[in-house]
């Protein structure tokens, strides 16, 4: 009986009837909503009632002390971790909690991990070629021939990440910073709507950091970019809007000047430096 009533409910659309590959709907502004999300690991609440909204085309920095839940938040968005409660939406049409990692990746969320992973035995150009949005089944890949259009797309991304001169270089001999840029380029080749970037400047020189800041600010507008970073100087140089996480929820949000003046923030995070 209960099964019958479940099937005849009129207030819901069955999951298999809902369109899955429809375009991302950003007419209402935000591209990513996290609402009342909570995750606990063995009773420890890594994310506690988190509410976060990222607008389409926005560049957002997320800062917070260790254990604030930054990486867990990224895991939830990319489908690696399932929250206990709450909802996560991509645009106003896609419920990310119903999708797995490759589906979310195909939908247009690219994630860059902390440690750069590029294909070291291939050239910079080839790394981008393989990452390009294309039919990735075996036989289409075997017979694939690069068209002028693809070439232009790769050139465009090479230009964005500033590695045009090193296109024939093996990725394995690039410097740490160049590998990070190449990996961002590989994400761009997949034409993502939202880029999640985890600590992009860890281990970079001052000069490389400046270059990365330019790169990320240049991307905003076309893509939405969420940057998780520890380096306050770097955050200050790129951030328009900063979200401070603390113990799994949002402590403060606003411009860098606003949040650094916030007494709570100073207490939990910036104060630690003293």
Partner 1 sequence: MTQSTNYGQSWLTRPFTERSTQIFLAVLLGAVALVTFLNLTMPEDSALHVSTYTVTLMGKYLCYALLAVAVDLVWGYLGILSLGHGAFFALGGYAMGMYLMRQIGDRGVYGNPELPDFMVFLNWQELPWYWYGFDMAWFAFLMVLLAPGILAFIFGYLAFRSRVTGVYLSIITQALTFALMLAFFRNEMGFGGNNGLTDFMDILGFDLRTDGARLGLFVASGIALAIGYLICRAIVGSKLGRVSVACRDAEARTRFIGYRVERIQLFVFVVSAMLAGVAGALYVPQVGIINPSEFSPLFSIEVVVWVALGGRATLYGAVIGALIVNYAKTVFTGVMPDAWLFALGALFVLVTVFLPKGIAGLLAGLTQKKASTDKSVAGTAQEAGV
Query: Which residues contact partner 1 by CB under 8 A?
Result: 101-102, 105-106, 117-123, 126, 129-131, 136-138, 141-148, 151, 162, 165-166, 168-170, 175, 186, 190
Phi, psi for residue 44 in degrees, rounded to 5: -85, 120
The answer to whether the beta carbons of residues 211 and 123 sit under 8 Å apart is no
| C-alpha angle 246-183-254 in degrees, rounded to nearest 5 | 30
Write down the least CB distance from residue 136 to partner 1, Å.
5
Write down the least CB distance from residue 179 to partner 1, Å.
12
CB nearer to partner 1: pick between 97 and 144? 144
CB nearer to partner 1: pick between 31 and 128? 128
Write down the least CB distance from residue 210 to partner 1, Å.
12
- The tokens describing 182, both together, are 């190449």
Query: Sign of dihedral through CA atoms 204, 53, 249, 236?
Result: positive
Write down the least CB distance from residue 256 to partner 1, Å.
28
CB nearer to partner 1: pick between 35 and 210? 210
CB nearer to partner 1: pick between 5 and 21? 21
Give the whole-angstrom CA distance, residue 212 versus residue 204. 9
Give the whole-angstrom CA distance, residue 54 versus residue 268. 24
Give the whole-angstrom CA distance, residue 104 versus residue 80. 10
CB nearer to partner 1: pick between 182 and 259? 182
CB nearer to partner 1: pick between 81 and 106? 106
The answer to whether the beta carbons of residues 245 and 216 sit under 8 Å apart is no
Give the whole-angstrom CA distance, residue 154 versus residue 48. 41
Residue with tokens 């409660």: 85
Q: How far is CA 155 from CA 139, 160, 182, 187, in A?
A: 25, 9, 13, 15
Write down the least CB distance from residue 175 to partner 1, Å.
8
- The tokens describing 36, both together, are 């009342």
Q: Which residues, in sequence order, are CB contacts of 30 under 8 Å at separation 6+?
A: 53, 54, 55, 56, 91, 92
Write down the least CB distance from residue 180 to partner 1, Å.
14
Radius of gyration of the chain (CA): 20
CB nearer to partner 1: pick between 43 and 148? 148
Write down the least CB distance from residue 125 to partner 1, Å.
8
């Amino acid at each position: 009986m209960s099964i019958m009533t479940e099937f005849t409910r009129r207030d819901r659309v069955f999951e298999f009837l809902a369109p899955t590959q429809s375009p991302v709907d950003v007419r209402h502004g935000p591209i990513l909503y996290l609402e009342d999300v909570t995750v606990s690991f063995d009773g420890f609440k890594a994310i506690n009632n988190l509410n976060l909204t990222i607008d389409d085309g926005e560049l957002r920095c997320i800062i917070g002390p260790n254990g604030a839940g930054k990486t867990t938040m990224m895991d939830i968005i990319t489908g690696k971790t399932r929250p206990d409660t709450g909802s996560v939406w991509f645009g106003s049409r896609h419920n990310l909690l119903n999708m797995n990692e490759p589906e979310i990746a195909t939908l247009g969320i690219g994630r860059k991990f902390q440690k750069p992973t590029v294909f070291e035995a291939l050239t910079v150009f080839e790394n981008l070629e393989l990452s390009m949005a294309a039919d990735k089944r075996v036989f289409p890949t075997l017979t694939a021939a690069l068209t002028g259009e693809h070439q232009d797309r790769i050139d465009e991304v090479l230009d964005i990440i500033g590695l045009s001169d090193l296109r024939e270089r093996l990725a394995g001999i690039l410097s740490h910073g160049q590998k990070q840029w190449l990996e961002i380029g590989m994400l761009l080749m997949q034409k993502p709507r939202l880029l999640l970037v985890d600590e992009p400047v860890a281990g970079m020189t001052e000069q490389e950091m400046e270059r990365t800041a330019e790169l990320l600010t240049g991307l905003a507008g076309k893509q939405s970019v969420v940057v998780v970073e520890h380096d306050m100087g770097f955050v200050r140089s790129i951030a328009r809007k900063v979200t401070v996480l603390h113990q799994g929820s949002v402590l403060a949000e606003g411009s860098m000047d606003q949040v650094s003046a916030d007494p709570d923030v100073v207490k939990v995070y910036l104060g630690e430096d003293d």
